[in-house]
């Protein structure tokens, strides 16, 4: 007996809360103001802000991606705990492999 | 010949961008905290290996994402401080315009004209007193004009130095965003995962589709206008040029010009991450010129030690400095020895608050009268 315990609904509810925070964060991201006239520092400030915006977008997308993959695995009712673990470990190995 | 007292830039718009960076950083923190909660509680839902695997994977994603919130959080107070600098500069320059007009100089809008006289030479000692008075008035205007030229040049030189001290480190820290490189690709490494991730991102309505390269290109055009203005300002008046050079050492200036050239190249690139090619070059240049201390940190260091810290904090607070007892208390509480004092001052007091105090220390008259022109 390897399928010790899986509370799919509980985990999905928690992941929905993560998605809600990402939606809010994406909404903030889309509020990026127009490039300001910052005088002699205009291009430097634009580079700093746009790099930060790009990084924020990647962070949001990656967290959304992790949540979506986890939800997808949980949605498959035929998958047991051990298989869920295998699936998540595959992602972990990809992240560790850089 | 004339002196322009225009300062290009829109401080309100710059401040709005700083506000956005702060909000963006905070919202990333919210996402990170929520993921941390779920990771911490995942073993309640997925017991055994599945729970711990999720916990480790979520932690890896959090670690790779965390530079984004830190970068935005670090940049925001610097952007605010820059906006405040532009505001204070405009306040001073507007005061100079009024003073220049009051002292008889011709002012057109934001431009002060060089004083002229109909007298061809200094009147002899026994000349008509009216001529002598006219000459003295002219000399007084020349003194005011020259002082103005020096002050304007110094302000611009100091602004350029400030930019190198505060923006270059942020450019250097772009390299800290490297962990985000390839993150999404690694999560989507298998075909099934890629399908799921693509679908999740496609259906995320709020996801921004803004073209950041276009955003930077627009900024680059405004930068070119500002550069043209400062070049003309320097070439228009030798005293302004000399003062700007004195306030901004040539090595720093050349470093910043090189940095700006490279920023222009990077601005055309669609993405900054991964940090490769021209982006690596700007990180390297930024790191090379990222040095220098503010006046307030030097004072905190010089007065290091508990007594010195108390003196500095008390002096600022008792005299009604910009942040009063709050900052005064911070200085008293944190200053112990010289280098530690400097560290605490810079680490604990945000740059935009330090800037206000620097300005007050430099010119203690600020709160009851603006800097006064000579003549």
CA gap B94, B110 in Å, rounded? 8
Residues of chain B in contact with residue A22, where contact means CB-CB under 8 angstroms, are 31, 204
Which structural domain range is residue A48 located in? 8-96
List b or e across B321-341, with b for residues whose CB sees 16 or more CB atoms inside 10 angstroms.
Answer: bbbeeebbebbbebbeeeebb
Residues in chain B: 375
Q: At B126, is the secondary structure helix, strand, or coil?
A: coil
- Is B204 at the interface with chain A, CB within 8 A? yes
User: For the whole model, what pTM was predicted?
Assistant: 0.83
- Per the listing, tokens 């320097």 go with B234
Residues B251, B301 within the same domain:
no
The answer to whether the CB of A67 falls within 8 A of the CB of B58 is no
Give the model's pLDDT for residue A79. Answer: 73
* Residue ending a domain, choose from B271, B292, B313: B292
Q: Give the nearest chain A residue to B87 (CA atoms).
A: A38
Continuous segment of H or E residues that includes residue B108: strand B107-108
Query: In this complex, do A52 and B24 lie within 8 Å of one another by their Cβ atoms?
Result: yes
Q: Is B123 exposed, middle or buried (0-12, 13-18, 19+ CB in 10 A)?
A: middle
What tokens appear for B85 in the block? Answer: 């600098």
Which structural domain range is residue B266 located in? 2-292
Give the model's pLDDT for residue B349. Answer: 65
Query: What's the total number of domains in chain A?
Result: 1
Give the model's pLDDT for residue B163. Answer: 93
Residues B145, B250 within the same domain:
yes
Residues B210, B260 within the same domain:
yes
Is residue A3 domain-resident? no
A contact test, residue of B37, B54, B172, B217 with most A CBs within 10 A: B54
The DSSP secondary-structure symbol of B46 reads: B
Q: Please report the DSSP string for A4-70 in residue order.
A: --B-HHHHHHHHHHHHHHHHHHHHHHHTPPPPP--GGGHHHHHHHHHHHHHHHHHHHHHHHHHHHHH
- Is B107 at the interface with chain A, CB within 8 A? no
* Residue ending a domain, choose from B275, B292, B309: B292
Residues B362, B229 within the same domain:
no
Residues of chain B in contact with residue A30, where contact means CB-CB under 8 angstroms, are 206-208, 210
B155 upstream amide cis, omega within 30 of 0:
no
Residues B103, B215 within the same domain:
yes
Is residue A28 domain-resident? yes
Q: Which of B8, B41, B71 minimises the CB distance to A14? A: B41
Of A49, A42, A64, A43, residue with least CA distance to B177: A49
Smallest Cα distance from B10 to chain A, Å: 5
The answer to whether the CB of A27 falls within 8 A of the CB of B28 is no
Residues B240, B104 within the same domain:
yes
Give the model's pLDDT for residue B328. Answer: 44
Instruction: Give, in degrees to the nearest 5, the angle at Cα B9 between B3 and B13.
Output: 155
CA gap B219, B211 in Å, rounded? 13
Is residue A19 domain-resident? yes
The answer to whether the CB of A12 falls within 8 A of the CB of A71 is yes
- Is B39 at the interface with chain A, CB within 8 A? no
Query: In this complex, do B9 and A42 lie within 8 Å of one another by their Cβ atoms?
Result: yes
Query: In this complex, do B34 and A55 lie within 8 Å of one another by their Cβ atoms?
Result: no
Query: In this complex, do A5 and B49 lie within 8 Å of one another by their Cβ atoms?
Result: no
Give the model's pLDDT for residue B104. Answer: 96
Is residue A2 domain-resident? no
Residues B6, B141 within the same domain:
yes
CA gap B166, B76 in Å, rounded? 12
Count CB neighbours of B35 within 10 A: 24
Q: Which of A40, A52, A84 minimises the CB distance to B163? A: A40
The gap from C-alpha B262 to its chain's centroid, in whole angstroms, comes to 19
The answer to whether the CB of A25 falls within 8 A of the CB of B28 is yes
Residues B207, B89 within the same domain:
yes
Partner residues linked to B113 by β-bridges? B2
Residues B179, B304 within the same domain:
no
Is residue A1 domain-resident? no
Query: What's the total number of domains in chain B?
Result: 2
Over residues B205-217, the pLDDT tens digits come to: 545 556 788 888 8
Q: At B144, is the secondary structure helix, strand, or coil?
A: helix
Is residue A57 domain-resident? yes
Q: At B334, is the secondary structure helix, strand, or coil?
A: helix
Count CB neighbours of B166 within 10 A: 23
Q: What are phi and psi of B112, to 5 degrees?
A: -105, 125
pLDDT-above-70 percentage for chain B: 78
Smallest Cα distance from B254 to chain A, Å: 14
Residues B262, B307 within the same domain:
no
Residues of chain B in contact with residue A75, where contact means CB-CB under 8 angstroms, are none
Q: Which of A33, A69, A92 minimises the CB distance to B20? A: A33
Residues B55, B198 within the same domain:
yes
CA gap B20, B192 in Å, rounded? 36
Smallest Cα distance from A80 to chain B, Å: 9
Residues B228, B346 within the same domain:
no
Report, as ranges of residue numbers, the positions in chain A whose pLDDT lies below 70. Answer: 1-5, 77, 97-98
* Residue ending a domain, choose from B292, B308, B336: B292
Give the model's pLDDT for residue B348. Answer: 60
The tens place of each residue's pLDDT in chain B, 375 residues long, gives 899 999 999 999 999 999 999 999 999 999 999 999 999 988 888 877 888 889 999 999 999 999 999 999 999 999 999 999 999 999 999 999 999 999 999 999 999 999 999 988 888 888 899 999 999 999 999 999 999 999 999 999 999 999 998 999 999 999 999 999 999 999 988 888 899 999 999 877 545 556 788 888 889 999 999 999 888 888 878 888 889 888 887 878 888 888 999 998 888 888 889 998 888 888 988 888 775 433 344 444 444 433 443 444 444 444 444 444 444 444 444 334 455 555 555 556 677 766 666 665 555 545 546 788 987
Give the model's pLDDT for residue B313. Answer: 41
Partner residues linked to B46 by β-bridges? A6
What tokens appear for A93 in the block? Answer: 């190995």
A contact test, residue of B208, B252, B267 with most A CBs within 10 A: B208
Query: In this complex, do A41 and B82 lie within 8 Å of one another by their Cβ atoms?
Result: yes
What Cα–Cα distance (Å) separates residue B299 from each residue in A97, B47, B92, B123, B330? Answer: 48, 57, 24, 49, 14
The gap from C-alpha B227 to its chain's centroid, in whole angstroms, comes to 17
């Amino acid at each position: 007996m390897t399928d010790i315990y899986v509370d799919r609904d509980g985990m999905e509810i928690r992941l929905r809360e993560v998605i809600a925070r990402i939606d809010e964060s994406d909404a903030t991201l889309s509020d990026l103001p127009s490039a300001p006239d910052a005088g002699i520092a205009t291009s430097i400030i634009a580079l700093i802000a746009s790099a930060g915006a790009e990084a924020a977008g990647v962070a949001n997308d990656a967290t959304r991606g992790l949540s979506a993959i986890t939800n997808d695995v949980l949605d498959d009712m035929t998958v047991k705990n051990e298989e869920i673990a295998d699936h998540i470990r595959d992602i972990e190995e990809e992240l560790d492999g850089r | 010949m004339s002196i322009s007292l225009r300062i290009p830039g829109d401080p309100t718009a710059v401040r709005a961008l700083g506000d956005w960076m702060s909000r963006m950083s905070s919202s990333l923190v919210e996402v990170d905290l929520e993921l941390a909660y779920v990771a911490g509680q995942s073993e309640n839902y997925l017991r055994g290996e599945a729970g711990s695997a999720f916990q480790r994977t979520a932690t890896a994603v959090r670690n790779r994402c965390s530079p984004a919130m830190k970068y935005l959080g670090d940049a925001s107070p610097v952007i605010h401080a820059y906006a405040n600098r532009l505001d204070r500069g405009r306040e001073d320059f507007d005061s100079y315009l009024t003073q220049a007009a009051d002292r008889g100089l011709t002012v057109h809008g934001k431009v002060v004209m060089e004083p002229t006289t109909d007298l061809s030479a200094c009147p002899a000692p026994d000349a008509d007193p009216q001529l002598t008075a006219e000459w003295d008035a002219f000399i007084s205007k020349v003194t005011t004009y020259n002082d103005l030229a020096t002050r304007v040049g110094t302000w611009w030189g100091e602004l350029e130095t400030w930019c190198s001290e505060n923006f270059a480190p942020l450019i250097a820290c772009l390299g800290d965003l490297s962990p985000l490189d390839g993150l999404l690709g690694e999560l989507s490494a298998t075909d099934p995962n890629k399908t799921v991730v693509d679908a999740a991102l496609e259906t995320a309505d709020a996801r921004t589709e803004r073209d950041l390269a276009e955003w930077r290109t627009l900024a680059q055009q405004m930068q070119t206008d500002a550069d043209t203005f400062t070049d003309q300002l320097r070439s228009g008046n030798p005293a302004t040029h000399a003062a700007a050079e004195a306030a901004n050492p040539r090595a720093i200036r050349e470093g910043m010009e090189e940095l700006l050239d490279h920023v222009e190249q990077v601005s055309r690139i669609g993405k900054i991450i991964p940090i490769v090619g021209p982006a690596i070059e700007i990180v390297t240049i930024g790191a090379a010129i990222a040095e220098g201390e503010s006046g307030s940190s030097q004072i905190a260091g010089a007065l290091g030690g508990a007594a010195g810290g108390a003196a500095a904090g008390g002096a600022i607070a008792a005299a009604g400095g910009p942040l009063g007892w709050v900052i005064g208390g911070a200085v008293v509480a944190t200053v112990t020895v010289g280098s530690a004092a400097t560290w605490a001052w810079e680490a604990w007091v945000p740059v935009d608050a330090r800037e206000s105090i620097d300005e007050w220390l430099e010119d203690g008259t600020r709160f009851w009268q603006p800097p006064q022109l000579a003549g």
